[in-house]
Amino acid sequence: MTFEVVRADDPRCAVLEADGYTVVGESWAARLRDPDRAMLEQAGRRAEGVVVRELGVESAAAVLEVETANEPDYPYTPATHRVVGSLETIRELWTAGRVFGAFDGGRLVAVTHIRLDGETEFTSVLDGYRGRGVGQAVKAASILALLEQGVRVFGTGGAAVNDASLGANLALGYVVEERWRSYAPPEG
């Protein structure tokens, strides 16, 4: 099936809907410009009971374990979906950016990947650690690291059904700049 992915403010939405297309997913894109360093540092400290640090490629197997555990929880829309892939796919994350994780003891419980241009590819938190600021902490660490390299504009996005992801990003200062709709054509 071929889907139409259109910005929510695009006049084509009304045309598609009048032609019988159905919204099958919604997503958003957000930007963070000149982040508040003190707020990001505070977000990193709020996640009690975990240690946040940058990961090296030697952590690829642990990252794959977290991602594999969370893969069923990633929301799917035609515009936003995550396929975890293999250990080799995970190792490639380090060629495209930087990876940060949160540990509870020796166990990796959250991970985020940020490209060197400031775009977050994903943030993944194990089920028992969600809602505790752990995702914000790893993301804040990644932003702070890139701030040190001179990056001043950061981007992220996600499926509209993932309220927790949106809320975590808004709490870090991101502003939603785009909303998207994914349309399925009329049946028959």
pLDDT (tens digit per residue) in 54-92 = 999 999 999 999 999 999 998 888 888 788 999 999 999
In degrees and rounded to multiples of 5, residue 122 shows phi and psi of -165, 155
Please indicate, yes or no, whether the overall pTM of this predicted structure exceeds 0.85: yes
Q: List all residues 6 or more positions away from 159 whose beta carbon is below 8 Å from its beta carbon.
A: 25, 26, 27, 75, 76, 77, 80, 165
Name all domains of the chain by residue range, CATH numbers in brackets: 4-184 (3.40.630.30)
Question: Where would I find the H helices in the chain?
Answer: 12-18, 37-46, 60-70, 87-91, 93-96, 134-148, 163-171
Instruction: Give per-residue pLDDT as tens, 1-28.
Output: 799 999 999 999 999 999 999 999 999 9
